Structure 1
Amino acid sequence: MSRIPCTTDVLIVGGGPVGLALALDLKYRGVRFMVLESSDGTLSHPRVGTVGPRSMELFRRWGVADRIRATGWPGDHPLDIAWVTAVGGHEIHRLDFGTADNRPPLAYTPEPEQVCPQHWLGPLLAREVGVHPDGPLRRRCRLDRFTRYDDQVVATATDLDDGSRLTIRARYLVGCDGAASPVRKAAGIAAPARYETRVFRNILFRAPGLRERLGARGALVYFLTQPPTLRYPLRSMDGRDLYRLTVGGPGPVGPEPEAAGQDALTTVRDAIRYDTPLEVLSENVWHLTHRVAERYRHGRVLLAGDAAHTLSPSGGFGMNTGICDAADLGWKLAAELAGWAGPKLLDSYDTERRPVAERSLEEANAHLLRTMRRELPKEILLDSTEGARARAKLSEGMERSGVRREFESPDVHFGFRYVSPVVIGDGRRERDWRTDALPGARAPHAWLGADTSTLDLFGRGFRLLCFADSDRLAAFEAAFAHRGVPLRATRCHDASVAGLYRSAFVLVRPDGHVAWRGATLPRDVVRVADTVRGAR
C-alpha cells in the first residue's frame, strides 16, 4: 500500500454544500485547498430543496448563481405553500408566492431564493470546485486521523478505491463533515443536545402526471393535515414528477406516530387523493438533533455547517447558515495565510457565527413545534358544511400563529449582526437592516446600474464607500496598505444609495458585512485598520 504525501493550505473534510461553498470562497481568493469526501458524490435520497437568498448572493459572488437558477426547476411551477387534508383533497390554507418567472423583485436583494435540491446543487458545485485528478476535490477518500501542531495539521486518509494512503500537511483543517462530525469529536469539541432528538422518515417517490392533474392547485410544498397520522410536508423536488414525503418515524416524534410502521407506498397513497401512478424510489429514517458546538475553533482545526450546528429543517435555515459560515471563515483564513490578519481575526469566526446558529436553531425549532402542536380536528376531513367550518377555523388559527414566517424570513437570512472585536460600533440609534448600513450587518443592496448591485463591489478585500470627499482618504488607504490589507475606495455619487447607507463613509469587509462607518474619516486611521484586521 503506497503512501502519497500532499501539502495544501486548507484541508476541508466533507464535500457537501457547505464544504464546497468554503472551497469556492477559497478558490475565489486564490488559496490552495483540498477537499476530502468519503462518498462518490451520488445522492440517492436528496435532502435540501431551496437555496436561500443570502446564500444566492454569496453564490453570485462566486460566479455560480446563474448556473443554480439554470439547473432545471421549471420557471412556471408554483412556489406556494398549501395546507391540505391530502394532495388533491380539501385545501385549508395557502401562501401565494407566485412562480420563479412571475414573482415580483425584492427591494433588498438581487438574488431571490432558488429551488435547487441537493442532487442538482451538489454536482454543480463539485464541477465548479474541480474533481480529482484535475481538481482538488477527492471523492471516495476517507479521513482516518489528524494531529494538530502549532504550525500545521498532519492528516492521514485512505483512497477507498485503491487502498492507497495519503499524508496531508495543511496549515488549517476545517470539518464540514456533517452532524456526526468525526473531526469535531477528534478535536474534543462538545455539541450538547438542546432539545429532544426526534425521528422522521423521508419517502422519495415519483408520481407521473400529478402536476398536470393538480393544475391551478399546484404548490411547492403541501403540509398534510390528515388526522391521525399525517401532518408533515410533501414537497416537489424537481417541479415535474419527483416528490418527497416526511412522516413521523419510530420513537418520540410527537402526538401522532402511527404512520411510523406503515409501509411507504401505503403512506404515500394516503397522502394523495388522486388515483395516480406512484413509484417509491427510496426511504430513509433520520434523526433530528438540535445542537450547536461549544466552540468552532480548536487551534488550527475549525468547524462549519452541520459539524458546527444542526437544527430543524423547518424554515430552511440549516444549509444556508452553513454557507454563511463558509463566507465568514473563507476570508479570515485567506487573511491568516496572506499574513495580514491580527491574532483576533480567526477567533472572531466563533464569536460571530455561533450566536447566529443559536438564533437560527431557536427559530427553526419554533416552526417545528408550531406544526407538531397544531390540533387537527377530525371534522376537517368531512365533505360537508361542518367540515368547511372546521377548515376555515383551522386556517384562521394558522394565520394568527404566523405560519408565513416559516417560509418568508428575511430577518433570519439577512438581519443578523456580528458583535465582535473586529467590528467597530458607533453607538448610533439602530435602524432596519434594509435601510441602514449597520456595523456588523450585511451591507445593503442597491442597484448601481441595470445589472450591478452594491453587493458586487464587495468580496476581494475591504471596500470603502465614500459618499463625500475627505482629505484623510490618502492616509486611510496608506494605513491599510502598510499592513498589507487589501482595500479599495469607491466614490459613489448616487443620492439614493447614499440615503440608503446613511453615512458619508462606510467600510465593508470582504464578506460583505459593515466593519465601520462614520460621518467623517477618522483621524486615528491606524486604530481602524488594526481593529478590523484583528490586531487590537
Structure 2
Amino acid sequence: MSTAQHVPVLIAGGGMVGLSAALLLEYHSVPYVLVERRTAMSVLPRSRGLHTRSAEIYRQIGAGPRLEQVAATALAKGQFGGAWQGSVLTDAQPLDISRVAAAMAAADPSPSRFLFLPQVLLEPVLADLARNRGGDLRFGVELTGFRDDGDGVCAELRAADGVSTRLRADYLVAADGAGSTVRRALGIGGWELPPTHHLINVFARTDLTGILHGQSFSQCEITGERVRGLVLSKNNTDEWSFHIEYDPNDETVADYPEQRCAELIREMVGVPGLEVEVLARSAWDTGVFVADDYRRGRVFLAGDAAHRHAPWGGFNGNTGIADAHNLTWKLAAVLSGVAGPALLDSYVAERRPRALVAAEQARLGTDFRTRYGIETPDNAEDLAKRLDIGEVMVRYRYRSTAVAAESTASLHVGELKGQNGTRIPHLWIDAAETVSTLDLCGPGFALLVAGTSAAWRDAAARAQRDTGIELAVHALPRDQWTARTDLPPGGALLVRPDMHVAARSETGLTPATLTDTLRAITGLAAKADAAVAVPMQSF
C-alpha cells in the first residue's frame, strides 16, 4: 500500500446524500474525498421529488438554477401528480386527492419550490457540480476497512483494478446506503419495523401515451388477481417504474428475469401486445430502520445508512439531504477551530428524532388511499395521525435544552415565526423578489435585525473578534420583520449556517449576551482555561 494521504473528511458513498455532503463541505471550504464502490450511477429512478426544503438547501449553495433547469426537462409531456387505482392501468380511475393537494397549495412561504427530479437525473448533476468545484470524487473505489484511533480515521481503499491505498481523515461520513458496511462494522443497531410489502422495482421503456389519452398520474395502484403493485411515472410518456409485489418466502429477484418482468408489466397495463423494454430491476421492501446512534467517535452516519423506510411521502432521501446540511456546517466549524467537539453531539440529538417522525409518517401511508388523504371506513385513526409535508420537512423544531422534556408534539410549530430551533421565516427583501431572508444565511452565522441597530453591529464585531466565528449582520425592514417573527422593533434572530434559529431576542439574546450565546452554541470555552457548562442538546 502507498503512504496514507490526509484529508479533513472522507465520505463513503456517492449517492444523493454523499454527493450533497460533498457539495456542502465545499461550500464551507472543507476539503474532502468521496469514494463510491460503483463505477457508474444507478439507472433506477428511485426517489423522484425534491421537497421544497431540499431545494432551499441547494439554492443556498448555488445549485438551485441548475437543478431547476434539469427538472424542467424531467417530464416529456403532461404534469406530475395525481393518484389512480384499478385492476389494470387501462381501467384505472383517478382518485380525489384534494385533501393532499390543498395541503401542498398551502405550503409554507419559501423562495424555492418542489421539483419533480428523479434521483437518476439528480445524482449526475450533483456529481458534475462537485467535480467542477474541485471535488475529489473517486467512483470505482471501495472503502474496505477503517479504524478510529481517537485522533482521526485510518481508511483502507481499494480501486476497481484491485490496487489498495490508505487515507487518513479527521472524520468519516458514512452515506453508504441502507446496508451500510460502516454501520455494521461499528455494530450500531436500530429501531425496526418489519416490511408490509416486498416489491420488485422494474424500470422499463414502454410508450403509454396512447393508453393514458393525455392524462397523467404520480402513482397508480394495480389490484389485479394475478399481479399487484404500483406504476410510477418517470417522464410520463415512455419511461415508467413498475413495482411488482412478490413473496420473498417463495421467490427472489432472480426469479424475475427480463422476459417475465415484461409479461407482468403487460398484465399490469392491461395490453397483451404492449412493447416493453426492461432497463433495470431490483428488489426492495417497506421495512423500517432508524439507527440507535448516528455517531461513533469520529464516524457519522447519514441518509439511508442512518434511516430507511418506505418512500411514501418522499421523506427518506430528502431527510438524508437535511442530515448532510446539519452535519457539514458543524464539521466545518470544529475543523476550523471556531467550535468545540461538543457541537458534533448535537447532530444525533437533532437528526435522529426527525428521522423517527419521517419513518412514522411514511408507515402511515402504507394503505394507498390513506397515503393520499382519502377517507375510508377503516382509516380514520391513521388519517388523524398524519402530518402534512410542511410539518415534517419545514415546520420541524429542533429541541433546545429548554424544551428537551416536552412531548413529541412540541417538535412542530403551526407557523414559522422565528421560534428557537426552527427554520427562519421567508421574506422577500427586494422589490424584484429575488433575495430572500433565507439567502442571508451561511456559510457563517447571521444576525437578522428588525430595523437598524448600531448596538447589534458593535456586538457582532466584538463576538467575531473574540470567537473567530463569522457573523454577518442584516438590517431588515422593521415592520415586515416584526410582523413575520413577533420580534420587538430592534430585536434580532441569531441564525445558524443551516438557516435554523439559534437564539432570539426576548429569550435571552441581547447585544451584551451575544458572545456568550455563540460560545454556548458552538461549545467553545467561555474563557481560555474554562469549559462552557452548557449541554449541547442544540438550540
Fold match (TM-score > 0.5) = yes
Q: Does 1:485 align with 2:465?
A: no
Q: Which amino acid aligns with 2:504?
A: R
Q: Which amino acid aligns with 1:501?
A: T
Distance in 2 between residues matched to 1:446 and 1:397, nearest whole Å: 42
User: SS where residue 312 of structure 1 aligns?
Assistant: coil
Distance in 2 between residues matched to 1:464 and 1:424, nearest whole Å: 25
CA RMSD of aligned residues (A): 3.4
Which residue, out of 240, 244, 248, partners 2:245?
Answer: 248
Moved more, 325-334 or 519-528: 519-528
* Alignment-derived partner of residue 445 in structure 1: 426
Q: Which amino acid aligns with 2:11?
A: I
Q: Does 1:110 align with 2:111?
A: yes
| C-alpha distance after superposition, 1:283-313 (max 9, x if no partner) | 2222433111111111111110011111111
Whether the 8 Å CA contact 2:425–2:437 is kept in 1: the answer is: yes
Moved more, 496-505 or 347-356: 496-505
Change (3 A) 1:333 1:397: same
Structure 1 position 522, deviation (Å): 5.3
Structure 1 position 46, deviation (Å): 2.8
Whether the 8 Å CA contact 2:54–2:321 is kept in 1: the answer is: yes
Moved more, 114-123 or 174-183: 114-123
* Alignment-derived partner of residue 83 in structure 1: 84
User: SS where residue 9 of structure 1 aligns?
Assistant: strand
User: SS where residue 416 of structure 1 aligns?
Assistant: coil
Which residue, out of 295, 301, 304, partners 2:302?
Answer: 304
Which residue, out of 496, 503, 510, partners 1:509?
Answer: 496
Q: Does 1:325 align with 2:314?
A: no
| C-alpha distance after superposition, 1:34-63 (max 9, x if no partner) | 000000123233311111111111111121
User: SS where residue 15 of structure 1 aligns?
Assistant: coil
Change (3 A) 1:64 1:240: farther
Change (3 A) 1:38 1:111: same
Structure 1 position 160, deviation (Å): 1.1
| C-alpha distance after superposition, 1:146-176 (max 9, x if no partner) | 1111211111101113x22211011001110
Structure 1 position 3, deviation (Å): 2.2
Q: Does 1:272 align with 2:269?
A: yes
Change (3 A) 1:480 1:21: same
* Alignment-derived partner of residue 530 in structure 2: none
For structure 1, the residue ranges without an aligned partner over 5 or more in a row are 254-258, 375-393
User: SS where residue 212 of structure 2 aligns?
Assistant: helix
Whether the 8 Å CA contact 1:53–1:113 is kept in 2: the answer is: yes
Distance in 1 between residues matched to 2:44 and 2:286, nearest whole Å: 16
For structure 2, the residue ranges without an aligned partner over 5 or more in a row are 525-533, 535-539
Structure 1 position 198, deviation (Å): 4.5
* Alignment-derived partner of residue 126 in structure 1: 127
Change (3 A) 1:34 1:406: farther
Structure 1 position 246, deviation (Å): 1.1
| C-alpha distance after superposition, 1:168-197 (max 9, x if no partner) | 011001110011111112222223423347
Which residue, out of 367, 379, 393, partners 1:413?
Answer: 393
Structure 1 position 491, deviation (Å): 0.5
Distance in 2 between residues matched to 1:412 and 1:241, nearest whole Å: 33
Whether the 8 Å CA contact 1:202–1:285 is kept in 2: the answer is: yes
Change (3 A) 1:395 1:150: closer
Whether the 8 Å CA contact 2:227–2:267 is kept in 1: the answer is: no
Q: Does 1:464 align with 2:454?
A: no
Q: Which amino acid aligns with 1:286?
A: W
Moved more, 137-146 or 276-285: 276-285
* Alignment-derived partner of residue 333 in structure 2: 335
* Alignment-derived partner of residue 31 in structure 2: 32
Structure 1 position 431, deviation (Å): 8.9
Whether the 8 Å CA contact 1:23–1:33 is kept in 2: the answer is: yes
Figure out how many residues of one structure are paired with residues of the other and give that number: 501
Distance in 2 between residues matched to 1:44 and 1:441, nearest whole Å: 36
1:126-525 equivalences in 2 (<5 Å):
126-130=127-131, 135-161=135-161, 163-196=162-195, 198-208=197-207, 210-226=208-224, 229-230=227-228, 232-251=229-248, 263-274=260-271, 276-368=274-366, 370-371=367-368, 409-421=389-401, 432=413, 434-449=415-430, 450-470=433-453, 472-473=455-456, 474-493=458-477, 495-503=479-487, 504-519=491-506, 521=510, 523-525=512-514
Identity level (%): 31
Structure 1 position 240, deviation (Å): 2.9
Structure 1 position 27, deviation (Å): 0.3
Whether the 8 Å CA contact 2:370–2:383 is kept in 1: the answer is: no
Distance in 2 between residues matched to 1:282 and 1:404, nearest whole Å: 38
Change (3 A) 1:433 1:492: farther
Change (3 A) 1:433 1:496: farther
User: SS where residue 343 of structure 2 aligns?
Assistant: coil
Change (3 A) 1:447 1:87: farther
Moved more, 314-323 or 40-49: 40-49
| C-alpha distance after superposition, 1:473-513 (max 9, x if no partner) | 22344124311111111111152333112222111100011
